[in-house]
Amino acid sequence: MKREFMMRGTSMFFLLLFMSQTTYCSQSIYGSEFDYKKAKPTSDYFYGKSRKEIELYCKREMLGTSDLSACAQFRYERIMDAFDKRVSEVEKILEEDDKANGAYGQPAALPYFKKAQANWLLYRENDCYSNVYSVGQASLRFIDFWDCMTGITKHRLDELTKPNSDD
C-alpha cells in the first residue's frame, strides 16, 4: 500500500511537472501585449550597418521572422523621421500664421492642430493594435503591426505634405 501510494505520488509529481512545462512552453512573446514604444531601435539590431546597407539587406528574400520584424520596424522608423520633421514644419507655419492672424483677433490654429495630432496618434496605435491582436498568436504579428503603423503614418505624412491635393 505504501509502495503503491509512492508510485502514484511520483506519477502525479511528474504529470504535474510535465503539465506545467507544457503550459510554460506554449506561451511565447507573440501571445503577450506589445508596447511598441518600448521596442529597442533597429540601430541595435543592425549595429554597425549604414542605412543603405540595412535597406539592401531588407530587400533580400528568405529572411527569418526576426529579420523581417526588424526590417518592418526599420521602415517605420524611417517614415517617422520624415513625419516628425514635417509635423515640426507645419507647427512652425501655424505658429507664424497664428501671430499674423492674432493681430486681427482671429483664434489660433496651432492648439487645434496639436490636439488633432495627439488624437491621430491614438487612432493609429489603436487601429494597428486592434488589427494585429484580432488574429491571435502568430509569429508575423509584429511585422503586421509595424507595417500597419508605417502605412497609416505614410498616409498622414502625404496629407500634411500635400494638404490641398485631391486623391
∠ CA 82-85-89, nearest 5°, is 135
Average pLDDT, whole number, for the chain? 82
**For residue range 19-71, what is the model confidence (pLDDT) as tens digits?**
333 333 333 444 567 788 888 999 999 999 999 999 999 999 899 999 999 99
Q: Which domain holds residue 81?
A: 33-161
Task: Mark whether 91 and 74 lie in a shared domain.
Answer: yes
| 112 plus 140 within the same structural domain | yes
Q: Would residue 92 count as lying in a domain?
A: yes
Assessment of whether the complete model's pTM goes beyond 0.95: no
Instruction: Give the cell for residue 3.
Output: 509502495
